[in-house]
Structure 1
Amino acid sequence: MGHDRQLVTKEGHAMLERVRQICAELPEVEEIVDGFGHITMKVRGKSFVLMGETEEGAGMSFKSDRETQHFLLQQNAGYIRTPYIGQHGWVSTKKGEPFDWEGLSELLKEAYLRAAPKRLAKLVQP
């Protein structure tokens, strides 16, 4: 999983390591760099987390559903609707703001469950 060159700041590397720790508990997660230069976590070819960095800071987007997306945006808790793919429920962290890792950990696991085939999802769900 050595795509650290895509994230150049200390903040970006820290984010990537935390996401790797969360994804290490999930079966068959693959880390790739997509055509846009984002570090992407996939399960069976389906993306569930995208990470990148701009001048504004490091950030990530994750697969969600519209109900959860609406709830997160209403809470104004550091999340925005992901440009271009937000209509499908994707949510992004606000760049330059601290991450709520406790909440993000659960949201990333839910993103995995949305992307994973049922057989793999059953291995994670109680």
Structure 2
Amino acid sequence: MSHSRRETLIRVARKYNALVVADDVYYFLSWGVAHPANPALRPQLRLVDVDRVVDDGPKYRFSNVVGNGSFSKFIGPGCQVGWAEATEDFIYGLSRESLFLIRNAGSKLKVFLTVVLHAPVVLFRN
């Protein structure tokens, strides 16, 4: 996705107070240098990074983007250890949910996403 489309996505998420879950598990394979065959090709910023800088950053202390990472993508299948990236306040709120950290995070995340995707009303921030 181009940088301008990423910025547009963030602006729409902010306008409608929506949360974007960015599946950036392979991003770390980009080393931040130009491609040798085509120097014009530069790595794109992750969506969580664009959220931090577009229009001077998030409107609220909680961001509109959370990114995820997983060791199972580069260590091996079944390694159910991962991480989430967002603003400091978002991560703090996420860490307060002890079940998210203690139990199978994959299943917990699937339940969370199912609820979010099927929610008939707007979810509010605490």
TM-score with structure 1 length normalisation? 0.30
| Higher-RCO chain (CA-CA 8 Å, sequence separation at least 6) | 1
Greater percentage in strand = 1
Length-normalised TM-score, structure 2 = 0.30
Q: Quick check: which has more Rg, 1 or 2? A: 2
